[in-house]
């Protein structure tokens, strides 16, 4: 076993430098989680990576990559109502997919305990929005804990398990990107892995488990009762506490306070280091239900209070309600600018808000040095990526006014320069619904894209609908054999967990009138198929497949027999047409100041997919260079 797994399974209490996501896995092992499920999505994939790093025979839990977040959540629910402690984790927008079932969970007695880990993404570092899932706690009557550090994530997870089992209700643990990916030395407790009987405890007497007709109302009342009890837990929780980093006192005769939660508390504490004003902070990390008495008392003890949170004004509304109900005389400050509702609340942005509210107390002292003009670095497909060949070939077949609809996955990057393919993008699996709508009574060609993992995740209903109603779209399945964007997790078509479920066979069974299947490196034929598909009247499909070359190259490098290969530009033949960089756009090509093109050998993987793109055949394999290397 690896050093990492040895440490993760180390029975004795010990200190460990550990990432937030990995701290959660240790907490799962310590609490005896029996079923864990997920669909991969940043910022949470490291949780699954740590679980799967443990060899199956040593893994004291059942784990699966489910086909999507809704299924993952339902499996965790099924396990919990059968008496097994379960956990499900996914990214922020994953909860949208799971929500149809998630909103029911608060109504059910999850007798085994159930913790739902959310990876919210303020700043949208790797998501299509920065939605604030604190709203969901309210919609579904589920309590929420929000850790600010890996230490707190570890402890809170264990406390969430206890609360969940005590009240037989699920608990949300809302992580954010920089809590998931923060590292800190943590004191880890003892880990004892006991034998487990897997006794089935499902019992309708513990339910009811069917919130329909008249049963809805008693279940809803019970959920609200549980929440009321949970508010007492929140009142008594050590996660809801007052910090006075600069001591107690008044500033110019006024007692000042800030109410905040989770990581923004850390940003505030960073900024209070730079001043001496005795400003108190009420941290509310057990954030739903909000501890009303604690908040009311804090308001009573202060003359002015700023409510400073990340993203939506949720705490703000809660605090305002409490102030009203308690006839508070405290002056409340809130964020004023729309800008302050957008993005991560970093220490620097927090300082700016503090300066807006209390300009006398937080003045900016450092002078800004003129910013140099630096090129942005847009994410791009890897060298050798089959999607690059696909976009290059498909563009040659597209009429000027074609509408291209992208989906979530590596191929979303096709929207960027130089391809600009995939002009609409909403959510996982949306492309065929959106594309079908665009195609109604439209003379312009509509092309939709979907990756293979997304095909299984949420793509199938839209595709069936397109075939069922014979919408006039051309679907391109960008099949690379893995869930590439999130780090190469398996999917039903990848063949790693069980026999491949072939996408082509599924499509054939849907009565699509036109289906072609081609490796994207065969660019000429892909262009030809694409033209034929576009000419076809009705729903047509082109499967554009090539294995993920990042995954493939990594596997090759592990082999003893691996010989690196590269291409080069024959400078005598090159006519500076620049198709290689301006149309094909492989990052391995370098444009030099004298106008010449060379190959960056650190990036090139020698796949040769570029050779066919040069009109004067100036790109060739660098056999000589590779022999001498």
Partner 1 sequence: MRDLNIYLTGVGGQGIGLLSRVLAEACLEAGYDIKSVDTHGLAQRGGTVISQIRIGEKIYSPLIPKGEADIVIGLERLEAFRAMQMLKNENGKVLYYDSQYQPIDVRLDDHHYPSKEELQEYSKKKKCEIKDVKNDQLPDPRMQNIVLLAEIAKLGWIENVDAQSIKNVMREVLPAKIRTMNLKLFDDLIME
Closest approach of partner 1 to the CB of residue 75, in Å:
28
Measured distance between the N- and C-terminal CA atoms of the chain, rounded to whole angstroms: 34
Among 145, 550, 569, 599, binds partner 1 (CB under 8 A): 550
273 near partner 1, judged by CB under 8 A: yes
Q: In 206-346, where does DSSP find H-type helix?
A: 216-236, 263-272, 292-300, 314-325
Looking only at Cα atoms, what is the longest distance across the chain?
Answer: 83
> Within positions 105 to 134, which residues make up the interface with partner 1, using CB under 8 A?
125-126
- Closer residue to partner 1 in complex, CB, 111/182: 182
Q: Which of residues 385-424 bind partner 1 (CB under 8 A)?
A: 410, 413, 416-418
Nearer to partner 1, 457 or 488 (CB): 488
Binding segment for partner 1 (CB under 8 A), chosen from 65-73, 294-302, 441-449, 584-592, is 584-592
Q: How many residues bind partner 1 (CB under 8 A)?
A: 58
Q: Are strands 35-38 and 14-19 parallel, antiparallel or unpaired?
A: unpaired
User: Which lies closer to partner 1 via its Cβ, residue 270 or residue 292?
Assistant: 270
Distance of CA 137 to the CA centre of its chain: 18
**In whole angstroms, how close is the CB of 176 to partner 1 at the nearest point?**
11
Binding segment for partner 1 among 65-73, 79-87, 345-353, 450-458 (CB under 8 A)? Answer: 345-353
The burial class, CB within 10 Å (0-12 / 13-18 / 19+), for 557 is exposed
Indicate which single residue of 10, 128, 246, 380 sits in contact with partner 1 (rule: CB under 8 A): 380
Question: How many angstroms separate the Cα of 52 from the Cα of each of 25, 38, 65?
Answer: 11, 12, 10
Q: Rule CB under 8 A: choose which of 378, 499, 561, 624 binds partner 1.
A: 378
* Binding status of residue 375 toward partner 1 by CB under 8 A: yes
- Cβ proximity to partner 1, 39 vs 584, nearer residue: 584
Residue 402 near residue 420 (C-beta atoms within 8 A): no
Of the residues 329, 367, 575, 627, which one makes contact with partner 1 according to CB under 8 A: 367
- At its nearest, how many Å lie between partner 1 and the CB of residue 377? 4
Return the number of the residue (70 or 178) whose C-beta is nearest partner 1.
178
Place of tokens 């040069």: 614
CA–CA distance, 573 with 144 (Å, rounded to integer)? 64
Q: How far is the CB of 560 from partner 1 (least distance, A)?
A: 10
**Which listed range, 260-268, 330-338, 426-434, 493-501, lies at the site for partner 1 (CB under 8 A)?**
260-268
Whichever of 111 and 605 has its CB closer to partner 1, that residue is 605
Residue 270 vs 303, nearer CB to partner 1: 270
**Dihedral of the alpha carbons of 597, 601, 605, 609, in degrees to the nearest 10:** 10
Window contacting partner 1 (CB under 8 A); options: 156-164, 322-330, 375-383, 460-468: 375-383
In angstroms, rounded to a whole number, what is the distance separating the alpha carbons of residues 54 and 56? 6
Which of 52, 301, 346, 465 is close enough to bind partner 1 by CB under 8 A? 346
Stretch that binds partner 1, among 105-113, 341-349, 534-542, 568-576 (CB under 8 A): 341-349
Which of the residues 177 through 206 are near partner 1 (CB under 8 A)? Answer: 177-178, 181-185
Q: Is 45 in the site for partner 1 (CB under 8 A)?
A: no
* DSSP-derived pairing of the beta strands 144-145 and 171-176: parallel
Distances (CA, A) of 596 to 88, 576, 586, 589, 592: 52, 7, 15, 10, 5
| Residue 595, token pair as written in the block | 């106008």
Q: Which of residues 48-87 bind partner 1 (CB under 8 A)?
A: none
The residues near 150 (Cβ < 8 Å, ≥ 6 apart) are 18, 19, 20, 23, 179, 182, 183, 184, 186
Reference 453, options 422, 425, 487; nearest CA is 487
Distance (Å, whole) CA 97 – CA 91: 10
Q: Is 356 in the site for partner 1 (CB under 8 A)?
A: no
**Which candidate, 428, 461, 458, 462, places its Cα nearest to that of 446?**
462
Rounded to an integer, what distance in angstroms lies between the CA atom of residue 507 and that of residue 512? 7
Closer of 264 and 435 to partner 1 (Cβ) = 264
Residue numbers at the binding site for partner 1 (CB under 8 A): 3, 17, 42, 125-126, 177-178, 181-185, 263, 265-267, 269-271, 273, 346-348, 351, 366-367, 369-372, 374-382, 410, 413, 416-418, 485, 487, 550, 558, 581-582, 585, 587, 589-591, 600, 602-603
């Amino acid at each position: 076993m690896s050093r990492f797994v040895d440490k993760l399974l180390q029975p004795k209490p010990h200190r460990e430098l550990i990432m937030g996501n990995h701290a959660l896995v240790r907490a799962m092992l310590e609490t005896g989680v029996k079923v864990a499920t997920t669909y991969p999505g940043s910022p949470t994939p490291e949780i699954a990576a740590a679980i799967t790093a443990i060899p199956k025979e040593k893994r004291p839990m059942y784990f699966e990559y489910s086909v999507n977040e809704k299924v993952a959540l339902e499996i965790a629910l099924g396990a919990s109502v059968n008496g097994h402690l379960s956990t499900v984790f996914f990214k922020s927008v994953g909860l949208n997919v799971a929500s149809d079932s998630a909103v029911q969970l608060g109504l059910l007695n999850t007798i085994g305990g159930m913790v739902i880990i959310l990876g919210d993404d303020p700043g949208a570092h790797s998501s299509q929005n920065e939605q604030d899932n604190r709203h969901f706690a309210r919609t579904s009557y589920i309590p929420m804990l929000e850790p600010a550090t890996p230490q707190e994530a570890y402890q809170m997870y264990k406390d969430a398990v206890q609360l969940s089992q005590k009240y037989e209700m699920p608990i949300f643990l809302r992580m954010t990107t920089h809590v998931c990916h923060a590292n800190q030395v943590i004191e880890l407790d003892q880990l004892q892995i006991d034998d487990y009987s897997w006794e089935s405890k499902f019992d309708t007497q513990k339910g009811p488990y069917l919130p329909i007709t008249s049963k809805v109302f008693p279940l809803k009342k019970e959920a609200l009762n549980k929440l009321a009890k949970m508010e007492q837990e929140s009142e008594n929780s050590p996660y809801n506490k007052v910090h006075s980093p600069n001591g107690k006192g008044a500033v110019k005769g006024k007692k000042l306070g800030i109410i905040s939660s989770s990581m923004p508390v850390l940003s505030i504490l960073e900024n209070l280091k730079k001043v001496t004003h005795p400003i108190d902070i009420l941290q509310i990390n057990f954030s739903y239900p909000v501890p009303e008495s604690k908040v009311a008392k804090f308001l009573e003890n202060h003359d002015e209070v700023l409510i400073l949170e990340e993203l939506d004004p949720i705490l703000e509304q809660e605090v305002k309600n409490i102030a009203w109900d308690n006839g508070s005389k405290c002056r409340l400050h809130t964020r004023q600018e729309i800008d302050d509702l957008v993005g991560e609340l970093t220490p620097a942005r927090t300082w700016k808000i503090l300066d807006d509210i209390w300009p006398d107390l937080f003045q900016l002292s450092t002078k800004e040095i003129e910013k140099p003009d630096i090129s942005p670095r847009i994410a791009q497909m890897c060298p050798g990526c089959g999607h690059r060949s696909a976009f290059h070939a498909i563009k040659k077949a597209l009429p000027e006014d074609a509408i291209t609809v992208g989906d979530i996955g590596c191929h979303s990057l096709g929207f960027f320069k130089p391809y600009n393919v995939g002009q609409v993008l909403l959510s996982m699996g949306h492309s065929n619904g959106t594309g079908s709508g665009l195609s109604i009574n439209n003379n312009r060609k509509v092309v939709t894209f979907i990756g293979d993992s997304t095909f299984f995740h949420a793509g199938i209903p839209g595709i069936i609908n397109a075939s069922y109603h014979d919408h006039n779209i051309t679907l391109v399945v960008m099949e690379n054999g893995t869930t590439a964007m999130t780090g190469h997790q398996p999917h039903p078509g990848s063949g790693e967990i069980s026999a491949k479920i072939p996408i082509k066979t599924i499509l054939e069974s849907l009565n699509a009138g036109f289906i072609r299947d081609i490796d994207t490196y065969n660019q000429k034929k892909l262009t030809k198929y694409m033209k034929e598909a576009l000419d076809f009247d009705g729903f047509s499909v082109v499967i554009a497949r090539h294995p993920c070359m990042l995954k493939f190259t990594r596997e090759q490098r592990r082999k003893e027999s691996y010989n690196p290969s590269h291409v080069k530009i024959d400078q005598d033949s090159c006519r500076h047409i620049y198709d290689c960089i301006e149309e094909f756009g492989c990052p391995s090509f370098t444009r030099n100041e004298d106008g010449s093109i060379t190959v960056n050998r650190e990036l090139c993987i020698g796949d040769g997919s570029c050779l066919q793109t040069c009109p004067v055949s100036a790109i060739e394999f660098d056999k000589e260079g590779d022999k001498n290397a």
